[in-house]
Structure 1
Amino acid sequence: MSDTAEIKHRIKSVSDTRQITKAMELISVAKVRKAMQKQAVNAAYFNSVRYTIKDIMRHSTDIRHKYLVHRPNNRTAYIVIAGDKGLAGAFNSNVLNMAWEHMQTRPVHYVVTIGQMARAFFENKHQPVDLEFTHAVTNPTLHDARGITRDILDLYDRNLMDEVVVAFTHMYSTTVQKPELVRLLPISESDIPEEIQSTFTGEILYDPSPKEVLNVLVPQYLVGMIYSVLIHSFASEHASRMLAMSNANKNADKMLETLNLEYNRSRQSAITTELLDLASGRFADGR
């Protein structure tokens, strides 16, 4: 009976764990859907901003703007986005290892981490972290993106860095997420995809001047870019967690099936033993 009780205890333990992993899976499903809806709501506006910047750069080649000019030095600032938690498969390790490998190829002047897992990773590598954001990955908002943009532009304006790149995880689908590296500053025409188009087909005149328009639009462009990578990273984390929890649920189901078989065999064996003992006792009494 002790074996039966132990198996029963294990069945309860696995069942309780499965309830937790199932709840985590359902929460992640909802968060992925909500994140991509938020991205879609703001995509039209930020795509218009990106197209306008691309159009100015294409048709006003004589403009010298501080956010468009490539600086001679290569002091690179890395913004690395990971999660605040684990239990998300290889989500954190993939993007962090990619960023670290890239950082070995050029002089790193500044490291900005978004997410506690990113901070812990660089601490283990003995790489100083100059600026840290933790709240932005739990529920990305435009307010978060504006705050990060403000701090990055302040550092860039003070000539503390020559280039800003961001390492994040791009979500292509709920089953495909890839770590990627994107340059934020300085901005090149090639950084803005050709598929970003305007619905307006006529000639565009910028008032008071293309440079003045850029002064307003570049910060908006960066807010849109940072918001986008935050959303993609957030959605990728929960898509990875959703898949990890789904696999955990399947493993739990298999384990429960095996344990239930063991439990039934153990009970059957115990009952058979009791019947044999009872029969033996009656036989002895009869003699």
Structure 2
Amino acid sequence: MANLKDIKKRIASVKSTQQITRAMKMVAAARFRKAQAAIVAARPYAQRMQQVLAFLALHEDPEAHPLLQQHERRGRAMVLALGSDRGLCGGFNLNIAKACEQLIGNNPDGFDGFELVVIGRKGREQLKIRGLQADQVYEDITAEATYATAALLGQEVVQNYCAGTCDAVYLIYNAFFSAIRQEVVIDRLLPIAPTVPIAPADTGFPVHPLYEPTRGEVLASILPKHIEVQIYRAFLESMASEHGARMSAMDSASKNATEMIDRLTLQYNRVRQTVITTELVEIISGAASIQ
């Protein structure tokens, strides 16, 4: 049986840990509110741009721009996985790793191989645990992901696709719904897939798009911009999901610490009661033997 001193030390240790988890929850909550406001503000623009580009892809000749072209060969596909640099956020990175494993294992489009690009140190570690080796890792950029960072990454993706280094680009990230709900999304970023609307009135787009100044200039500007915007949106979704997951994880940890403290306190009182009872019995027995 554990003695009183050991139990008391353990209670103090759990209380100290609980103070840390509560502080981390408060920090995560503050960052979560900021990240939530950012993704709510960015979503309408990103979604509308995605609709516009899908509509243009439906009506444009694929030869008008390399980003509209479907590569006939099925060589290598790039998988861009957005994880985190910091841990203690529940299954945030584990779910990303599982989605990467599923996509690469199933290989629905029949590619010969995959190039795995991972954002975040913890994301890379989870992939390594599951036997997936990252070809390229970007670390220390998830804490404050800016549009400039997303733009640089988007430019690299566009260059690789146009040069034929990869024949498709998939984007895997945690989509934000609420502080307690995040869902992993696998988007095919390139080539830009056309969508068929039910009716032109449903989209608000004209049947035949008009370009100003020229079609070539507009496509050369808006298509790479679209890739940058979608990557930036994924960054914001991932940031909000990470802070929400960490806030939930720290809240659960704090509650578990409270339950553990209660159990240890009960154990401490029982042991203390046993010690007192034993001492009383010894005193009474000693007094009786003297008489």
**Greater Cα shift, 141-150 or 232-241:** 232-241
Output aligned runs, 1:86-97, within 5 Å.
Answer: 86-97=87-98
Q: Distance in 1 between matches of 2:33 and 2:46?
A: 20
Aligned to 1:80: 81
**Greater Cα shift, 140-149 or 101-110:** 101-110
How far 1:38 sits from its partner (Å)? 1.1
Output aligned runs, 1:217-228, within 5 Å.
Answer: 217-228=222-233
Does residue 159 in structure 1 map to residue 160 in structure 2? no
Q: Distance in 2 between matches of 1:134 and 1:61?
A: 39
Output aligned runs, 1:245-284, within 5 Å.
Answer: 245-278=250-283
Count of aligned pairs:
283
**Greater Cα shift, 31-40 or 104-113:** 104-113
Q: Secondary structure at the match of 2:195?
A: helix
The alpha-carbon distance between structure 1 residues 214 and 18, as it changes in their structure 2 partners (threshold 3 A), is same
Aligned to 1:42: 42
Q: Secondary structure at the match of 1:181?
A: strand
Q: Distance in 1 between matches of 2:196 and 2:175?
A: 16
Q: Distance in 2 between matches of 1:129 and 1:99?
A: 11
How far 1:99 sits from its partner (Å)? 0.8
Q: For residue 56 of structure 1, what is the amino acid of its counterpart?
A: L
Contact 2:62–2:68, Cα closer than 8 Å, also in 1? no
Q: For residue 80 of structure 1, what is the amino acid of its counterpart?
A: A
Aligned to 2:154: 149
Q: Distance in 1 between matches of 2:16 and 2:178?
A: 30
How far 1:278 sits from its partner (Å)? 4.9
Q: Percent identity?
A: 29
How far 1:87 sits from its partner (Å)? 2.5
Aligned to 1:214: 219
Contact 2:56–2:194, Cα closer than 8 Å, also in 1? no
Contact 1:49–1:217, Cα closer than 8 Å, also in 2? no
Aligned to 2:7: 7
Q: Secondary structure at the match of 1:249?
A: helix
Output aligned runs, 1:18-167, within 5 Å.
Answer: 18-60=18-60, 64-74=64-74, 75-104=76-105, 105=107, 106-123=111-128, 128-167=133-172
The alpha-carbon distance between structure 1 residues 99 and 126, as it changes in their structure 2 partners (threshold 3 A), is closer
Q: Distance in 1 between matches of 2:214 and 2:50?
A: 17
Q: Secondary structure at the match of 2:79?
A: strand
Q: Distance in 2 between matches of 1:191 and 1:232?
A: 26
Task: Structure 1 unaligned segments of length 5 or more: list them.
Answer: none
Contact 1:136–1:230, Cα closer than 8 Å, also in 2? no
Q: Distance in 2 between matches of 1:62 and 1:264?
A: 76
Q: Distance in 2 between matches of 1:44 and 1:181?
A: 19
How far 1:190 sits from its partner (Å)? 2.7
CA deviation string 1:14-62 (max 9, x = no partner): 1111111222222222222211211223334434433443443345458
The alpha-carbon distance between structure 1 residues 281 and 86, as it changes in their structure 2 partners (threshold 3 A), is same
TM score, norm. by length of structure 2: 0.83
How far 1:121 sits from its partner (Å)? 4.3
Q: Distance in 2 between matches of 1:103 and 1:4?
A: 54
Contact 2:55–2:196, Cα closer than 8 Å, also in 1? no
Does residue 229 in structure 1 map to residue 230 in structure 2? no
Contact 1:89–1:244, Cα closer than 8 Å, also in 2? yes
Contact 2:101–2:132, Cα closer than 8 Å, also in 1? no
The alpha-carbon distance between structure 1 residues 40 and 3, as it changes in their structure 2 partners (threshold 3 A), is same
CA deviation string 1:95-153 (max 9, x = no partner): 21221221132322422111113333454566553332112222221121111112112
Aligned to 1:182: 187
TM score, norm. by length of structure 1: 0.85
Q: Distance in 2 between matches of 1:141 and 1:88?
A: 21
Q: Distance in 2 between matches of 1:90 and 1:203?
A: 46
After TM superposition, the runs of 4+ consecutive aligned structure 1 residues lying more than 6 A away are: 197-204
Q: Distance in 1 between matches of 2:256 and 2:187?
A: 37
The alpha-carbon distance between structure 1 residues 96 and 3, as it changes in their structure 2 partners (threshold 3 A), is same
Q: Secondary structure at the match of 1:165?
A: strand
How far 1:233 sits from its partner (Å)? 1.8
Q: Distance in 2 between matches of 1:147 and 1:20?
A: 36
The alpha-carbon distance between structure 1 residues 169 and 191, as it changes in their structure 2 partners (threshold 3 A), is farther
